[in-house]
Amino acid sequence: MNSKIYTLWMALFILPLASCGGGSSSPTPTNFNTTENTVQVNTSNTKPGWDLVWSDEFDANGLPNPSKWAYDTDHNRSGWFNNEKQYYAANRLENSRVENGKLILTARKERLTSASDFGGQNYTSTRLVTRGRASWTYGFFEIRAKMPCGRGTWPAIWTLGVGGPGGMVWPDDGEIDIMEFVGSKPNEVSATVHNGKYNWRGGIQPTTRIASVPDACTAFHNYQLTWTADKISIGVDDRIYFEYLNPKNSDLSAWPFDRPQYLLLNIAIGGDLGGAVDDSIFPVEMQIEHVRVYQAL
């Protein structure tokens, strides 16, 4: 894959927003900075100062590699969080396939009534996880992806904690939203973190920053997380627009990010953040060219 030069418009906002794991509010954001820059994107799988420890380049057609990815279907029967409307299918090429060097996640307007865990949903999609296959503490994560277009889509690239002392669960074991996209706002992507202190469910509302990426659903971009013992930094194409610092005050509720997290890729439909669904858009695809995880040398 050759390096690509493109123009990236970056506009940053701050607003309270919920995660893939919880509910949401959607106030009007306030623009505090806008810049225009020409960026040279490095698509090599080498990164100075970092060792590539896990990756999927999607070079074998068919279902996603089962040694690297599992399907999360846990809440199909009871219904997914945030009033989302999708059924997450497993081992179904119609919803997840590798083809011509890309992982393609597809959301469809259909009722999978034959599924044993069918919960009455009118849409199918996929939620892939590395849970039980791979997890990491710290590193540089890069996922090169193109978002689905269309009102009602809500794809995400994110991580969740594997659990901590005393059986910690969300939000206490942490969540990092590397990228969330809402089809009704096709020019924006967002990033945030959630933990026991900052979460939509009874904690302090977390801070989300939004980057303006006008071609998010028509072009591929590198969505990136740099996670160290000191801070979490999230960016697009080597441009950081979100940072969360370790307070270093032994407050586990504010910094649970010193233990492993696993990766998730999914397309949610509708829900508190996805909003009203335009049924004329289906099927829609989230395409991923590579997923790479590095750790510091």
Catalytic residues: 175, 180
Instruction: Return the bridge partners of 233, or none.
Output: 226, 243
Q: What is the identity of the amino acid at 117?
A: D
User: What's phi and psi for 273, nearest 5 deg?
Assistant: -100, -40
Q: What is the CA radius of gyration of the chain?
A: 18
Whole-angstrom distance, CA of residue 89 vs CA of residue 11: 35
User: Which of 169-172's residues contact partners 24+ apart within 8 Å by CB, and which partners?
Assistant: 170/21, 170/22, 170/194, 171/21, 171/22, 171/195, 171/196, 171/199, 171/201, 171/203, 172/196, 172/252, 172/253, 172/256
